[in-house]
Structure 1
Amino acid sequence: MAIFGYSDIFLFILAIIFLCVWRSKSWRKSSVPTNWPLVGMLPAVLQNCHRIHAYVTELLSECGGTFEFKGPWFCNMDMLITSDPANIHHIFSRNFSNYPKGPEFRKIFEILGDGIFNADFELWELHRRTTLSFMSHVKFYDLLERAVWEKVETGLLPVLEHFLKQGIDADLQDIFQRFTFDSICKLVLDCDPCSLCIDLPYIPCEKAFNEALEALLHRHVLPESIWKLQKWLQIGKEKKLMEAWKAFDEFIYPRITFKDDFSLLTAFRKAYEEMNGSSSDARYFLRDTALSLMLAGRDTTSTCLTWLFWLIAKNPSTKIKIREEIENELPLKDDKKWRFFNVEESRRLVYLHGALCEALRLFPPVALEHKSPVKPDILPSGNYLQLNTKIIVSFYSTGRMERVWGKDCLKFMPERWISPCGGIKHEPSYKFPAFNAGPRTCLGKEMAFIQMKMVAATIVYHYNIELVDDHPVSPRDSVILQAKHGLRVRLSKRNV
């Protein structure tokens, strides 16, 4: 009979972790974690799991932008963490073919199936080619413009007016999430779920994104054996993820139609049939495609808008400059009466564009990316990578590195993005990876800026936004960098 059972060993390891966390918390001032016997650097992660993005930024700042993390000896958790633009350029562009999404990424993001975020090689080419063709069509921006302004008129403004007249606080993040959810559903599924209305109805699919994204971050930082055990037992974050999966399926599948019209899903169905020679299993592929597009359209855009208004509220002078630009650049009437502007006119809002870029730099909606090389490689930082080495690229940290953005890197400065001649200043994607970098740069970048300008300009022009006192605002521990407790504000009418 064994002297120690598995439960004894497990309790022993837990005791070691507890001791390491306690000693680390009591003695250490450096962000660099101790590599403890048996448990590696896991105690530092557990100690900072409630502020993981901030902790990684502190760690990378102290270590020159790249750090080799050592996990417990009994788990496959060793990884390289980087925010170095040179490494990002190498991984995402120069040696792109050596860093596909791969099986590890697909395992973590299994809920997305064969959508573009999981796709590699021919499947990725199909997604990119089809999306680019659709968005390049002459009808697309008319469709986008109509969808956005209709939702502003029937959803956003009535809801904001309701909160104002009732004299109650509004959660702008919730409002933006509902707005972008309705808008992307209209573009992708040709249906408006009307989640943004005065009643603010609970729609399981719309709220399922938040639960799913938090669980997916935990899959990045927990040993695979742990989250797989949670999945098998249907407990914790994995239970929430499975519930979200069900909500997505129940919402999307009934709305998949096989019409021959100008729509994104029709374009993808035809592309799928051309690749496979039939429409067999197309329904599953369209579900994965729709979910990925809904994730991109709902969460990234709403997250940027949330942080933009938090930053504007913290820096009131930017609000005045945005209003002045609206009045000077948009064809408003002499009485300054508001009117909806078109896609081309939105490009005149250079200062607002800069403000959006600053919000994206400081709070990139997709906070991190997971990569692995299929062949050994050496990064520009000098780090040697073995086959299938786990790499976590922190986009959040890249935007907050003094060596990348200067001593004022933590300041909100829209002027940073305006060139001497008054145009929009370009920064390379490996330095500003808010829309990813290299060949995988987001195809919806232009669409996102147009939509965000329409929403942001409407609100800034019509309302004064004041943050609710004592309401905590901090990044959520999620793959998408939402505000953990929302963004509660008070509205007042602006005197035009």
Structure 2
Amino acid sequence: MEFYAFISLLIVLLLSLLLLKGFFLGSFTESKRKPYYPISTSVFQRLYNFGRLHHYQTDLAHRHKNFRVVAIGHSDIFTTDPANVEYILKTNFSNYVKGTYHYDKLSDLLGDGIFTVDGEKWRRQRKIASYEFSTKVLRDFSSLVFRSNAAKLAHVISNAATSNQTMDIQDLFMKSTLDSIFKVGFGTELNSLCGSSEEASRFAEAFDDSSELIFRRYVDPLWKLKKRFNIGSEAMLNKKRKVIDEFVYKLINSKKKQLSGGQDSMKKEDILSRFLVLSHEDPENINDRYLRDIILNFIIAGKDTTALTLSWFFYMLCKYPAIQEKIAREVEEATQAKDTVSIDEFTTRVTEEALSKMHYLHAALTETLRLYPPVPVDGKFCLSDDTLPDGFAIKGGDSITYGPYAMGRMKFIWGEDAEVFRPERWIDDDGIFQPESPFKFTAFQAGPRICLGKEFAYRQMKIFAAILLRFFRFELNDEKKVVKYRTMLTLHIDQGLYVRAYHA
């Protein structure tokens, strides 16, 4: 044990010397160049603060809205400036890519999916996905699925409310949105909400754990060494990935058999079936590995974003019961459902027209996304030396990260009440929702990579929220318990969100 401790200490000392070398050489070079962002932290400090990383980076951003993290061989610029965000996501888009820096870290989980690739691979997937999301077939099919699964969830909550049981509502949202995304995306009835699929539960757990382990690579300077020798967190990631791959490839083979056997031959509403049709036209590029990557990227986009936003949304409603009541009244008025109706009957009233009238619900969900974005940070890789709009230089080979979580808490962006949950900031004098610049409100990215599923996500969240708030009121099980996030690719509530529901 003493030998391993000595080796670990030696590695840390060597890495520290490399960082110091980079600092002094960088400082000498920078004096002859345009101003370079001040160093506010190091990769070791971020690793030490990993459990509260988004708070830590927000605290730094309060002091310096842009700062530099010194790492081995490069720097990581962290920005909360909307002008910088617009520049890297739109104005000079071609110079800021995922690159090998991010691909190396993410590809073991997400492969060559749309969140990890650049260039032609990205354009091809973007084009196909853009078409799919714009079809009326998918919109109508997804709305039916969302209403059906929201009704199933409402029945589960009704039973818990009747028996006065505490429930982890984040877990319920995760299962319900996973069921939705598997039906819409892959044409498969998963039924994880009902607990009938142990295999699906293992997959979901492995997927969430892998997300945390992958994200840890950004602050762990030894991750490549661990991967090389298959030890520690990398060994655990390898095990989790095997569970994920086994499940996904089984799904692909099952869908292939359905299609070859004539099932679903006339009505290919789900996205996987449509990609399988494309695979017959282009088998060289659309193979099983490609489909695996599409599926996992679709899951992280469709499950986590909506389930986590709904979880934080209901947390806010429990903290602000007056807002909860105001949304419930709006739902009743928009659906004209003040009379007593069953859950299943009410779902038929949650139409596109009714949803379009729920401006305050839309504002409250958006306010939740501002403070609790499902993707709390997003990074790009700088290809060549550049100067950002604020006049500071960035070198080719540096990474630049913008932080939606930190940006939502910046007073220079949102005013003195930036950290206050106030849906009214999104409503005009006529009670109509008013959007903000996507470079200021970055929950859905912006520019050429703006989220294609934005309206898809809002539709799902509004359907679930409307149906639940028509029939129930929610309270935290323990008002004194501090709710924290779990540091991973997406903003999970650590250890769940336990609430009690009461019949309205």
Structure 1 equivalent of residue 302 of structure 2: 297
Give the alignment of 1:160-239 within 5 angstroms: 160-197=157-194, 201=198, 203-223=201-221, 226-239=222-235
Aligned CA distance change for structure 1 residues 16 and 492 (closer, same or farther; 3 Å): farther
Give the alignment of 1:131-142 within 5 angstroms: 131-142=129-140
Structure 2 equivalent of residue 287 of structure 1: 292
Which whole-Å deviations, capped at 9, do the CAs of 1:288-341 have from their partners, x for residues lacking one?
Answer: 101100111111111100100111111111011101111212132644665111
Secondary structure at 2:425 match in 1: helix
Which whole-Å deviations, capped at 9, do the CAs of 1:56-108 have from their partners, x for residues lacking one?
Answer: 00101101x1001223xxx3363111111111100001111111211111111
The answer to whether 1:485 aligns with 2:495 is yes
Structure 1 equivalent of residue 61 of structure 2: 60
Deviation at 1:237, TM superposition (A): 2.8
Of 247, 250, 253, which aligns to 1:251?
247
The amino acid of 2:132's aligned partner reads: F
Structure 1 equivalent of residue 482 of structure 2: 472
Structure 2 equivalent of residue 351 of structure 1: 360
Of 109, 114, 117, which aligns to 1:116?
114
In structure 2, C-alpha distance between the alignment counterparts of 1:349 and 1:357, rounded to whole Å: 12
The answer to whether 1:102 aligns with 2:99 is yes
The amino acid of 2:359's aligned partner reads: V
Secondary structure at 1:221 match in 2: coil
Aligned CA distance change for structure 1 residues 333 and 405 (closer, same or farther; 3 Å): closer
Which whole-Å deviations, capped at 9, do the CAs of 1:164-203 have from their partners, x for residues lacking one?
Answer: 2343210011011001111101111111211101679571
In structure 2, C-alpha distance between the alignment counterparts of 1:447 and 1:393, rounded to whole Å: 24
8 Å CA contact 1:159–1:198 kept in 2: the answer is: no
In structure 2, C-alpha distance between the alignment counterparts of 1:176 and 1:403, rounded to whole Å: 34
Secondary structure at 1:392 match in 2: strand
Moved more, 360-369 or 201-210: 201-210
The amino acid of 1:128's aligned partner reads: R
In structure 1, C-alpha distance between the alignment counterparts of 2:290 and 2:196, rounded to whole Å: 34
Deviation at 1:473, TM superposition (A): 0.8
Give the alignment of 1:281-430 within 5 angstroms: 282-332=287-337, 334-335=339-340, 339-340=346-347, 341-430=350-439
Deviation at 1:42, TM superposition (A): 4.2
In structure 2, C-alpha distance between the alignment counterparts of 1:236 and 1:166, rounded to whole Å: 43
8 Å CA contact 1:371–1:390 kept in 2: the answer is: yes
Secondary structure at 2:294 match in 1: helix
| Structure 2: unaligned runs, 5 residues or longer | 17-37, 260-264
8 Å CA contact 1:147–1:186 kept in 2: the answer is: yes
8 Å CA contact 1:472–1:485 kept in 2: the answer is: no
Moved more, 407-416 or 373-382: 373-382
8 Å CA contact 2:183–2:270 kept in 1: the answer is: no
The amino acid of 2:50's aligned partner reads: C
In structure 1, C-alpha distance between the alignment counterparts of 2:8 and 2:232, rounded to whole Å: 19
Structure 2 equivalent of residue 458 of structure 1: 467
In structure 1, C-alpha distance between the alignment counterparts of 2:66 and 2:298, rounded to whole Å: 31
Structure 2 equivalent of residue 22 of structure 1: none
The amino acid of 2:207's aligned partner reads: F
TM-score by length of 1: 0.87
In structure 2, C-alpha distance between the alignment counterparts of 1:444 and 1:305, rounded to whole Å: 16
Deviation at 1:233, TM superposition (A): 3.6
The amino acid of 2:444's aligned partner reads: F
TM-score by length of 2: 0.86
The answer to whether 1:41 aligns with 2:42 is yes
8 Å CA contact 2:74–2:398 kept in 1: the answer is: no
In structure 2, C-alpha distance between the alignment counterparts of 1:130 and 1:13, rounded to whole Å: 46
8 Å CA contact 2:332–2:338 kept in 1: the answer is: no
Q: Which has the higher contact order (CA 8 A, sep 6+)?
A: 2
Aligned CA distance change for structure 1 residues 307 and 7 (closer, same or farther; 3 Å): closer
Which whole-Å deviations, capped at 9, do the CAs of 1:123-171 have from their partners, x for residues lacking one?
Answer: 2122121112112222112101111122123x31232123223432100
In structure 2, C-alpha distance between the alignment counterparts of 1:122 and 1:152, rounded to whole Å: 38
Deviation at 1:383, TM superposition (A): 2.3
In structure 1, C-alpha distance between the alignment counterparts of 2:113 and 2:46, rounded to whole Å: 30
Deviation at 1:113, TM superposition (A): 1.1
8 Å CA contact 2:74–2:397 kept in 1: the answer is: no
Give the alignment of 1:255-266 within 5 angstroms: 255-256=251-252, 257-258=255-256, 259=259, 261-266=268-273
Aligned CA distance change for structure 1 residues 272 and 391 (closer, same or farther; 3 Å): farther
In structure 1, C-alpha distance between the alignment counterparts of 2:213 and 2:433, rounded to whole Å: 37
Moved more, 259-268 or 207-216: 259-268
Secondary structure at 2:117 match in 1: coil
8 Å CA contact 2:172–2:193 kept in 1: the answer is: yes
In structure 1, C-alpha distance between the alignment counterparts of 2:43 and 2:137, rounded to whole Å: 52
Deviation at 1:471, TM superposition (A): 3.3
Secondary structure at 1:472 match in 2: coil
Deviation at 1:244, TM superposition (A): 2.6
Structure 1 equivalent of residue 84 of structure 2: 87
8 Å CA contact 1:99–1:372 kept in 2: the answer is: yes
Percent identity, aligned pairs only, is: 34
Secondary structure at 1:215 match in 2: helix
The amino acid of 2:424's aligned partner reads: E
Aligned CA distance change for structure 1 residues 233 and 356 (closer, same or farther; 3 Å): same
Which whole-Å deviations, capped at 9, do the CAs of 1:433-473 have from their partners, x for residues lacking one?
Answer: 10111111111100100100111111222112111224331
